[in-house]
Amino acid sequence: MGAGNLPHAALAPWKRVAVAACLAALCVPPFVLSNFSVFQLTLVIAYAVVLLGLNMLTGYNGQISLGHGAFYAIGAYAAAILMDHYAVPYWMTLPVAAALCLAAGFLFGLPALRLEGPYLALATFALAVALPQLLKYKAFEAWTGGVQGITIVKPDAPLGLPVNADQWLYFFALAVAILMFSLGRNLLRGRIGRAMVAVRDNPIAAEAMGIDIALYKSLTFGVSAMFTGVGGALGAIAVQFVAPDSFNAFLSIAFLVGIVVGGLGTLQGAVYGAIFIQFVPNIADRISRAAPWAIYGIMVILFVYVAPGGVASFVHYVSRRWRRKT
Amino acid sequence: MDTFLAQFLSGLATGGVYASLALALVMIHQATRLVNFAQGELAMFSTYIAWSLVNAGIPYWGAFALTLAISFACGIAIERVILRPVERGPVLSMVVIFIGLLVILNSVAGWIYSYTVRPFPSPFPSEPLFGQHYISSHDLGAIAVTLAVLVLVYAFFRFTPLGLAMRAAAQNPESARLVGIRVGWMRALGWGLATAIGASAGMMVAPIVFLDPNMMSGVLLYAFAAALLGGIDNPFGAVFGGFFVGVLENLLGAYLIGQELKLTVALVVIIAVLVVKPSGLFGRTLVRRV
Q: Which domain holds residue B79?
A: 16-215
Nearest CA in chain A to B105: A294
A264 touches chain B (CB under 8 A): yes
Cβ neighbours of A261 in B, within 8 Å: 96
In a domain, B246, yes or no: no
Decide: helix, strand or coil at residue B115.
coil
Decide: helix, strand or coil at residue B259.
coil
Are B238 and B244 in contact, with CB atoms under 8 Å apart?
A: no
* Mutation site, A300, A302, A311, A313, interface B, largest B CB count within 10 A: A300
- Give the closest of A204, A257, A308 to B89, CB-based: A308
Determine how many CB atoms are found less than 10 A away from the CB of residue B276: 10
In a domain, B71, yes or no: yes
Nearest CA in chain B to A136: B260
Alpha carbons B71 and B50: distance in angstroms, whole number: 10
In a domain, A278, yes or no: no
CB contact under 8 A, B100 and A301: yes
Each residue's pLDDT tens digit, B39-82? 889 999 999 999 999 988 888 899 999 999 999 999 999 989 88
A281 touches chain B (CB under 8 A): no
Cβ neighbours of B110 in A, within 8 Å: 291
CB contact under 8 A, B267 and A130: yes
Cβ neighbours of A305 in B, within 8 Å: 85-86
In a domain, B289, yes or no: no
CB contact under 8 A, B92 and A58: yes
CB contact under 8 A, A130 and B271: no
Are A68 and A51 in contact, with CB atoms under 8 Å apart?
A: no
Determine how many CB atoms are found less than 10 A away from the CB of residue A137: 15
Q: In the structure, how many helices (H) and strands (E) does chain A have?
A: 15, 2
**What's the total number of domains in chain A?**
1
In a domain, B107, yes or no: yes
Cβ neighbours of B284 in A, within 8 Å: none
Alpha carbons A270 and A121: distance in angstroms, whole number: 20
Cβ neighbours of B270 in A, within 8 Å: 122, 126
| Closest-CA distance of chain A to residue B101, Å | 6
Average pLDDT on B189-203 reads: 90
**pLDDT tens per residue, chain A (326 residues)?**
444 444 455 667 787 888 888 888 888 787 888 888 888 999 999 999 999 999 999 888 888 888 899 999 999 999 999 988 888 888 889 999 999 999 999 988 888 787 877 788 888 888 888 888 888 877 777 777 777 888 887 777 777 777 788 888 898 999 999 999 999 999 988 888 899 899 888 888 888 888 888 888 899 999 999 999 999 999 999 988 888 888 888 899 899 999 999 988 888 889 999 999 999 888 888 888 888 888 888 988 888 888 888 888 888 888 888 887 76
Alpha carbons A323 and B167: distance in angstroms, whole number: 48
Alpha carbons A67 and B64: distance in angstroms, whole number: 37
pLDDT at B286: 61
In a domain, B175, yes or no: yes
Q: What is the mean pLDDT of chain B?
A: 84
Amino acid at A124: T
CB contact under 8 A, A122 and B106: no
pLDDT at B255: 76
* Mutation site, A277, A301, A306, interface B, largest B CB count within 10 A: A301
Alpha carbons A293 and A313: distance in angstroms, whole number: 26
A123 touches chain B (CB under 8 A): yes
Q: Which domain holds residue A201?
A: 2-248
* Region of residue B88 (left: phi > 0; alpha: psi -120 to 50; beta: else): alpha
In a domain, B266, yes or no: no
CB contact under 8 A, B270 and A126: yes
Nearest to B237 by CA among B11, B8, B23: B23
pLDDT at B57: 86
| Chain B residues bordering chain A (beta-carbon distance below 8 Å) | 29, 35, 82, 85-86, 89-90, 92-93, 95-97, 99-104, 106-108, 110-111, 221, 224-225, 228, 232, 260-261, 263-264, 267-268, 270-271, 274-275, 278-280, 288, 290
Decide: helix, strand or coil at residue B87.
coil
| Closest-CA distance of chain A to residue B124, Å | 34
In a domain, B245, yes or no: no
**What's the total number of domains in chain B?**
1
CB contact under 8 A, A297 and B221: no
In a domain, B283, yes or no: no
Cβ neighbours of A129 in B, within 8 Å: 221, 263-264, 267
| Closest-CA distance of chain B to residue A119, Å | 7
Burial B181-206 (b: 16+ CB within 10 A, else e): bebeebbbbbbbbbbbbbbbbbbbbb
Residue B261, pLDDT > 80, answer no
Are B13 and B257 in contact, with CB atoms under 8 Å apart?
A: no
In a domain, A321, yes or no: no
CB contact under 8 A, B103 and A293: yes
Each residue's pLDDT tens digit, B98-141? 889 988 998 898 888 888 888 888 878 776 666 666 677 888 88
Are A150 and A80 in contact, with CB atoms under 8 Å apart?
A: yes
| Closest-CA distance of chain B to residue A291, Å | 5
In a domain, A90, yes or no: yes
Nearest CA in chain A to B92: A260
In a domain, A52, yes or no: yes
| Closest-CA distance of chain B to residue A265, Å | 12
